[in-house]
Structure formats: C-alpha cells, structure tokens
C-alpha cells in the first residue's frame, strides 16, 4: 500500500502547478546528489540512536538516566566536529571529500558497536559514541552547507520542506530496518526474569543489528561520489589571487 501511495504521490505532485512537495527540485544535480547521500546517512545515524539505548537498558540492565549519560558523548562529538568542519575544512576542501571521509569513518566507528556486550564498560561505550559523533559532524556540515547551494531564494522554502520530508522518512525507514532485524533474531527484548545474565542470543541479535546500521554508511559513501565540488563552489572559500611584483 505504501509503495502504491508513494507512486501516486509522485504522479500527482509532478503534474499540479502548486505541489506540496516540489519534486522538480531533484532535477538540480547538487540538490539531488546531497539528498541521495542524506537518506542512508540519516537511516544509519538514527538507527543506532534507537538501538544503543535499548541495548543498554535491556541487555546491560542500566537505568535510563545512566543510559542517557552514556550516549551523550555522540552529541558532544557532533558539535566539536561541526565547528572544525564548518570553520576550517569545508571552505578549503568542499563537500565531497568531507562526505567520503566522514561516511567511511562513521561506518568504521559504527562497526565498533558490533563488538560490545553486557560486559563492556560504560566509559568505553561513551568514548565510542563520541568518536562516532565526531565523524558524523563532518558529514552533517557538508550536507547542510551544500544542500541549498544552487537553490534560488523563491524555492528555498520548497527545498527545505522536501529535504526535511525525506530526512524524516529516512529516519523512520532506518529504525524500521534495524528493529526488523532485531525482532527476527530474538523473540523478546525483556530483561531476564530469573536474575541471570542476558542470553547470548540476545547479545548476538543486537550485534547483528549494529552491523546492519553500520552497513547503511557504505551506501552513503558510494552516493558521496555523485557530489561535485564545483557545484557547491559558491559555498567554499575563493582562492586568493597570487600577488604580482611591481615592475621597475
């Protein structure tokens, strides 16, 4: 039903003069490429944000407050890398290198979570979330800066609506994918009722879901090669002209 309705949406929105979603904006190469990267990025990013707290509370049996403190490192990493990437790196190297590097590094750091179990120390998990968030900051700054580089001012509101709609859909799909994998591998996420240690099957199920979450960044990395720096030249620092010596 969803596929049919989505097809109908595209059919209608591309044929009416005042659509709710201005799909014609996808004709712009840069906007299309950035959205192509952003979809698996947000799928992978938020799918782990969904998985990790559930793992810590159901497998590690940690309180929600402790869980929140443990995963807080990711937000700190995003903020720090966004400042570094926005002020220094993006103006010099452009979106494409940042996206490729950031997606690969985030994928590798996300694979790290497939090794954790109920015995992993919480400070180690916090450090892992910080590293992942730090690399994600480069991806976010490249996406958000380059996305609207070639969008005209009258279309800015429409482009923002389209990007945000796709982002929210990607988040939902990413969470649905890892939740489906998790549900298929374990019947219950409830903590053991006998007071014993969590079952190995439950840990294995989460580790497989973490692997799937990380794999989504492989798609984002491949999509990053469709982004061209020259399309986003207006958002980058212009090279300074070489000084010429005065003739005598």
pLDDT tens digits for range 201-221: 788 899 999 999 999 999 999
**pLDDT at residue 187, rounded to an integer:** 58
pLDDT at 21: 85
Which DSSP state fits 194?
T
Cα gap 56→112, rounded to integer Å:
15
Identify the pLDDT of residue 221.
Answer: 97
pLDDT at site 61: 87
pLDDT at 202: 84
User: pLDDT value at position 245?
Assistant: 47
d(CA 5, CA 11): 10
pLDDT at 190: 54
Where b means 16+ CB within 10 Å and e means fewer, 15-24 reads: eeeeeebbee
- Say what the pTM is: 0.86
Alpha-carbon separation of residue 133 from 91, 92, 114, 139, 150 (angstroms):
21, 22, 16, 10, 28
Phi and psi (nearest 5°) for 144?
Answer: -70, -30
Section 1-21 average pLDDT: 89
The interaxial angle of helices 122-146 and 64-71, nearest 10 deg, is: 50
**Distance between CA atoms of 94 and 117, rounded to whole angstroms?**
38
| Amino acid 198: pLDDT | 55
Q: End-to-end distance of the chain based on CA atoms, in angstroms?
A: 79
Q: What average pLDDT does the chain have? A: 90
């Amino acid at each position: 039903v969803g596929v049919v309705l989505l097809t109908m949406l595209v059919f209608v929105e591309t044929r009416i003069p005042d659509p709710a979603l201005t799909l014609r904006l996808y004709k712009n190469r840069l906007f299309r490429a950035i959205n192509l990267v952003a979809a698996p990025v947000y799928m992978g990013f938020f799918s782990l944000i969904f998985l990790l707290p559930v793992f810590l509370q159901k497998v590690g049996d940690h309180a929600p407050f402790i869980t929140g403190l443990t995963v807080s490192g990711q937000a700190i990493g995003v903020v720090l890398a966004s400042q570094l990437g926005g002020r220094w790196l993006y103006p010099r190297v452009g979106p494409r290198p940042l996206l490729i590097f950031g997606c690969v590094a985030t994928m590798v750091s996300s694979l790290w979570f497939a090794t954790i179990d109920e015995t992993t120390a919480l400070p180690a998990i916090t450090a892992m979330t910080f590293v992942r968030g730090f690399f994600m900051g480069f991806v976010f700054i490249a996406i958000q800066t380059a996305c609207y580089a070639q969008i005209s001012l009258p279309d800015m509101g429409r482009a923002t609506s389209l990007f945000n709609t796709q982002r929210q859909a990607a988040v939902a799909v990413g969470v649905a994918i890892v939740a489906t994998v998790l549900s298929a591998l374990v019947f219950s996420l409830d903590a053991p009722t006998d007071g014993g240690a969590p079952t190995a099957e439950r840990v294995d199920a989460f580790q497989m879901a973490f692997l799937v979450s990380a794999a989504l960044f492989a798609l984002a990395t491949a999509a990053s090669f469709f982004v061209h720096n020259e399309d986003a030249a207006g958002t980058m620092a212009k090279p300074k002209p070489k000084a010429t010596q005065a003739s005598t």
